[in-house]
Homo-oligomer: A and B are copies of this chain.
C-alpha cells in the first residue's frame, strides 16, 4: 500500500524524536500500520541543521505554511508549539484536507473547540496523544478503552517537572528553591519554570482529559490552578507523618451539579500507587462506574516517549484515514453533536478533605476554640496533632473529613480573626480516592 506521507512542522526535541523513531523502527511500524510512514517534508527555522539530520531526500522549508497545502503531504504533524502561528498552520492544513497530529496541549486547551469543529466540517482527523502524559496512551485509553463507562473522576500526575521537584523535596528534605535550581540544572525544568511550577501546563492537559472523560467542550479558562512554588517543606514532613504524600494533581470529577476542574498540590495516601509515582514520571488514575479504578503510568516527556505518542497517532491515521468521517473515532471521545456544556463548579462547591496548619499561642482553650469553629461550620475533623514551637507557641495540624470547600474557607476566615492565631492558615486539599 502507498506510504503515508507526512509533513513535519518543527524538528526540535519532539520533532527530532519523531524522526529518530521513524528511522529506527520504520519496519516494525509498517508491520503494524500496513504501510510505511514517510517524512516527505519538514519545516524548520534552521534549514542547514535540519539537512544534516534528515539527509538529501526530504524537502526542507523554512515556512511551515508552505507545507500545509502541499499535495504530496497526507498528514501534517505540528510540533512547533506556541499558539498563534501553530493555530494558523493547523487550521490551514485542515482546510486543505490534511489530517493533523499535534503535541500542542496549550493550543488545544485554548483553541481546541475551534480546531475540532473545523476538522469535523472537513472530515479530517486531529490526533493529540502526545499532548497529555507523553508516552502513556492515556487519550486512547479514555477515548476508546473506557467507552463503556460513566467516568466519575480523573486524577493525574501530569507534569513531570513538578513531580520531580516534589519527590526530591520529600526524599531529601530540601526546600523548593534548592530543588528547582537542581531541576533546572538537570534539564527537568525550564529557565523560566512558571508554566510548570504554577500548574499551567498541568491545567492545559487536565482541560483535555476532562473533555475526553465527560464529553464537555475544552475550557481552559475554567480550570482553578494552584502551583507548588509556595509549598513549604514542613507541610511535606507533616503530611508524611499523617501517612500522606503531596503531589501536584490535575483533578476533574463529575458531581450531580457540575464538573470539578482543578490543579493543585494534594495530599494522597502514601500507600496508594499514585503516591509512589516518583521523579519525572506521570500517572493518571481514573474511576469509571463499570471498570472501577484503573491507572496508567509512564514517562510524561522527553524526545522518544513523546515521539512514541506522535507516531502511534500516525499509525492510527494510517489505519483509519480511509474511513468515512462519520466512522472515525471522535476527537474528544464523544461524538461532536453529543458534547454538552456541563457547568464547571466554582471552587466553593468542590468537595475534598483538607489539611490545615496554623500557629497558635500555646494556651489552654485554643484547641477547643478551633474545634468549635470547625464544627460550627459543619466540618468534621479526622485527625489532629499539635507540636510545640517554642516562644509558647505551637503548630496545630488538622485533617478534616470530606467537606465543601466554601465551608472550609468560611471557617478559616473566622479562625484567622482569633487573637491566638499567629500565622496564616495553610490549607491543602486531600484526596483519598475512596
Contacts and interface: CB of A to CB of B under 8 A. Distances in A.
A312 B294 CA distance: 15
Given A145-B312, A150-B28, A136 B21 contact: no
Contact of A129 (B29, B145, B314, B321): B145
A381 B402 CA distance: 51
Given A312-B144, A319-B327, A319-B328, A296 B299 contact: no
Given A1-B326, A276-B276, A289-B25, A294 B136 contact: yes
Most buried by B among A129, A288, A292: A292
A79 to B, nearest CB: 14
Interface stretch (A221-229, A331-339, A386-394): A331-339
Contact of A32 (B314, B322, B335): B335
Nearest to A332: B32
A294 to B, nearest CB: 3
Interface string A19-55: 0010011001111111000000000000000000000
A66 interface: no
B295 A291 contact: no
A24 B299 contact: no
Interface stretch (A300-308, A364-372, A423-431): A300-308
Contacts of A273: 273, 276-277, 297
A61 interface: no
B290 A25 contact: yes
A137 interface: yes
Nearest to A299: B292
A258 interface: no
A323 B322 CA distance: 7
B322 A320 contact: no
A171 to B, nearest CB: 12
A401 interface: no
B289 A330 contact: no
A267 interface: no
B323 A327 contact: yes
A322 B324 CA distance: 8
A422 interface: no
Given A294-B297, A308-B149, A323-B322, A141 B144 contact: no
Nearest to A282: B294
A237 interface: no
Interface string A265-293: 00000010100110000000000111111
A35 to B, nearest CB: 9
A323 B387 CA distance: 66
A304 B320 contact: no
A292 B147 contact: no
A49 B242 CA distance: 51
A276 B271 CA distance: 8
Interface of A: 1, 17, 21, 24-25, 28-34, 129, 135-137, 140-141, 144-150, 215, 271, 273, 276-277, 288-299, 302, 304-305, 307-312, 314-316, 319-324, 326-330, 333-335, 338
Given A291-B299, A292-B299, 17 more contacts: A21-B290, A24-B290, A28-B150, A30-B338, A31-B334, A34-B330, A135-B288, A135-B291, A137-B141, A140-B145, A144-B316, A273-B276, A294-B296, A294-B297, A295-B296, A297-B297, A319-B328
8 contacts: A34-B330, A129-B145, A135-B292, A145-B312, A148-B310, A148-B311, A271-B276, A322-B324
